[in-house]
Amino acid sequence: MADLPLSSNAKRPKFFDGDASDIHTSMLLEIMAELWTVKERLYVLEEVLSNEDDLIKNRVEAYTLSDTQQADLEARRAGFIGNVMRSLEDSTTSGNS
Amino acid sequence: MINTLQHHMSIVPSRDEKSRQEFVSSLRGHILVNMATSMQHRYTDIVSPKFQITHGRLPKSGGEVHQEMKSDLYFKFYSSIRYNAQEMVWRSVIPMVDRNLDDMVSQAAGLRADQSAVQGSLTLQPDLPIPKNVSKVDVHLAPGSYHSEYVADDIAAGAIYDNGLSIFSANLMGQNLDDIGGSMANYIRLKYPDFHPEKILDCGCTIGHNSAPWAKIFPQSEVHAIDVSAPALRYGSARAQSQAVPIHFKQMNATCLAYDDNSFDVVFTSMFLHELPLKDIQAFFKEAYRVLKPGGLLLNMELPPNDQMAAYDSFYLDWDCFYNNEPFYKTFRDQSYPKLCTDAGFHKDNFLQLTTPQYGYMSEAEFITSIQQDSQIDDKTGRLTEGIQWFGFGAWKGENING
């Protein structure tokens, strides 16, 4: 491991008044990413467990999703993002803000 | 689902890494399609009518639109989420590259050394000064920019770029991120069937993903590709070798080409000029003119110019200048593209401007029909979304072979 840097040298812009909203947005998106990885692993676990229960970890890692399952996950992911963003759409696109 | 890169330098992510990468790619899709549409409605329905009441007219420029949109709540969320998504693109691939780095360095060296199938080459210039627009700016918010090296014979910056662009592009740049080069090279092949380039130069090639299509589409030609980044070139050379595409990679600054006068038939760039200070763009155009043979072509795939776009579309594209660490982006787009060419020596009548659909996403017959129509810039030109059109401009040197 070379410990490659994970952050750029750019000064992070502030889009909102005050600091809190920019920080909260970053936190929300990182939580969404983490939650999605958990949701996907759970999805695969359920598929694996429905068949057998030995060497679960290796089987989950190696499990290949079918095209149908991939499409199902893609639709779930789009729905997941749409649900989280729903309040933003509702509150700002109707001219309330 | 993200397309898997189809070459031997590609990395297999863990399941969680893949989930995160696909999440980030879907998030970008949501931003660039759903949120971009909502933001434009917000501008049309609320922001611009307010401006008209105050000023008695609509905003005239992208800058005026930007000023008005800055205080809009939807724009703030759009920008904050898009900025974070850009950071997350890199964070979704860097740990994977780091974990595989030692093996990838060895693999790249092996691929470059194996000349049995392909006669490509790599020539580095360790004492080449890295220009400040690369060394001082983490372009596209990429940590370490595109030139930093962390281990001997490093390829990390190239691998991060390749895998990051794959997430960033949301499958809109082709299987191996080569649709820009493929669309431009096929446009030239089909539009100018009597033009048979023997030597082609790709400047600012990074990992050569858009150089490769030129070598494939014009197999009789000798393709050279230059960049200032050694790790990108080491990776790009191995990537090309693994695809059996012969390309001569050289570490070189495009503002000072170490090639003879009148030596190339095509000088090509893709998404390169908008990362350069204006003085470097001007220097590059002069160098391109110098190294082109009479009858040769300078072709730059780029973002369309502000003087040909509606105010809102200018604002939308210039977002990257203000929030994606691309400080020269707007200055470039504010230039007169014909003047950049004529100032370097090209005749004004030899100026060329084009738009193309994505060659890799349609049949050749559909592509031919499309490029036979007049070049039209619209709100999908240069904008990474469904139905994108690539934009290009440049000039023929000397007599226009198109008459």
ipTM (interface predicted TM):
0.74
Query: Phi-psi region for residue B32, left (φ > 0), alpha (ψ -120 to 50) or beta?
Result: alpha
Per-residue pLDDT, B251: 98
What single letter denotes the amino acid at residue B130?
A: I
Q: Give me the percent of chain B exceeding a pLDDT of 90.
A: 88
Q: Is A20 on the interface with B (CB under 8 A)?
A: no
pLDDT band at A96 (very low <50, low <70, confident <90, very high): very low
With an 8 Å Cβ cutoff, is A8 touching chain B? Answer: yes
Residue B26 one-letter amino acid? S
- ∠ CA B18-B22-B25, nearest 5°, is 140
Average pLDDT on A30-47 reads 88
How far apart are the C-alpha atoms of B196 and B191, rounded to whole Å? Answer: 12
* Cα distances (Å, whole numbers) of residue B372 to A47, B46, B191, B214, B365: 51, 39, 8, 21, 11
B249 pLDDT higher than 70: yes
Give yes or no for residue B296 having a pLDDT over 90. yes
Q: Does A90 touch chain B (CB under 8 A)?
A: no
Distance separating alpha carbons of residues B337 and B332, to the nearest angstrom: 9
> Do B143 and A8 count as a contact with CB atoms less than 8 A apart?
yes
Cα–Cα distance between B361 and B300 in angstroms, integer?
21
Could you tell me the two tokens for B155?
A: 């390829």
The predicted model scores a pTM of 0.91
Task: Indicate yes or no: CB of A93 within 8 angstroms of CB of B141.
Answer: no
Q: How many contacts (CB atoms, under 8 Å) link A and B?
A: 134
From A2, A6, A74, residue closest to B156, measured CB to CB: A2
Q: Say yes or no: B25 contacts chain A, CB-CB below 8 A.
A: no
Mean local confidence (pLDDT), B370-375: 86
Phi, psi of B272 (to 5 degrees): -110, -50
**Percent with pLDDT over 70 in chain B:** 98
For residues B102 and B202, the answer to whether their CB atoms sit within 8 Å is no
Average pLDDT, chain B: 94
Extract the tokens encoding A21. 């909203």
Q: Does pLDDT of A97 surpass 50?
A: no
The answer to whether the beta carbons of residues B155 and B162 sit under 8 Å apart is no
Specify the pLDDT at position B21.
95
Q: What digits encode the pLDDT tens for the residues B176-225?
A: 999 999 999 999 999 999 999 999 999 999 999 999 999 999 999 999 99
pLDDT at B263 > cutoff 60: yes
As a whole number, the mean pLDDT across chain A is: 82
Mean pLDDT computed over B317-339: 96
- Tokens 């220097």 label which residue? B283
pLDDT at residue A91, as a whole number: 66
- With an 8 Å Cβ cutoff, are B84 and A25 in contact? yes
Model confidence at B381: pLDDT above 70: yes
Cβ contact B3:B75 at 8 Å: no
Nearest residue on chain B to A44, alpha-carbon basis: B15
Question: Residues B3-59: pLDDT tens digits?
Answer: 677 788 999 998 889 999 999 999 999 999 999 999 999 999 999 999 999 999 999
pLDDT at B392: 97
Of B42, B97, B322, the CB nearest to A93: B42
Q: What is the mean pLDDT of residues B94-123?
A: 92
Residue listed under structure tokens 């040909």? B308
CB contact under 8 A, B15 and A25: no
From chain A, the residues in CB contact with B1 under 8 A are 70, 74
Which of A33-37, B110-114, B279-283 is modeled with the greatest confidence? B279-283
Flag whether pLDDT at B321 surpasses 70.
Answer: yes
Q: Which residue has the higher pLDDT, B6 or A57?
A: B6
Taking the mean position of all CA atoms in its chain, how far away is CA B265?
Answer: 21
Average pLDDT over residues A19-41: 89
**Could you read off the pLDDT of B139-177 as tens digits, one per residue?**
999 999 999 999 999 999 999 999 999 999 988 899 899
Residue A17, both tokens: 């008044």
* Cα nearest neighbour of B159 on chain A: A4
Of A9, A37, A78, the CB nearest to B20: A37
The reported pLDDT for the residue numbered A92 is: 65
B402 has a pLDDT exceeding 70: no
Query: Hey, is the C-beta of B90 within 8 angstroms of any chain A C-beta?
Result: yes
pLDDT score at B221: 97
CB B270 within 8 A of CB B299: no
B199, B234, B238, B392 from B125: Cα distances, Å: 22, 12, 17, 30
CB contact under 8 A, B45 and A40: no
User: Which residues, including other chains, have CB under 8 Å from residue B130's CB and lie 6 or more apart?
Assistant: B147, B228, B229
Order of strands across the sheet that contains B248-251:
B121-123, B248-251, B222-227, B199-203, B264-270, B292-302, B390-396, B351-356
Q: Which helix (H) or strand (E) element contains residue B211?
A: none
Main-chain dihedrals φ then ψ at residue B119, nearest 5 degrees: -105, 55
Is residue B115 pLDDT above 70, yes or no?
A: yes
Q: Which residues pair with B394 in a beta bridge?
A: B299, B352
Per-residue pLDDT averaged across B349-371, rounded? 95
Q: Using CA atoms, how far apart are residues B383 and B31, in angstroms rounded to an integer?
A: 12
Nearest CA in chain B to A95: B46
Task: Provide the pLDDT for residue B401.
Answer: 47
B231: which 2 tokens?
A: 């790790």
Indicate if the pLDDT at residue A49 is higher than 70: yes
**pLDDT tens for each residue of B62-106:** 999 999 999 999 999 999 999 999 999 999 999 999 999 999 999
What is the distance between the alpha carbons of residues B8 and B353, in angstroms, rounded to a whole number? 36
- CB-nearest to A26 from B23, B26, B84 is B84
Chain A residues with beta carbon closer than 8 angstroms to that of B16: 37, 41
For the residues B231-235, what does the mean pLDDT come to? 98
Neighboring chain B residues of A26 at a CB cutoff of 8 Å: 80, 84
Residue B403 has pLDDT above 90, yes or no: no
- Among B72-86, B275-289, B385-399, the minimum mean pLDDT is found in B385-399
Q: What are phi and psi of B192, to 5 degrees?
A: -125, 70
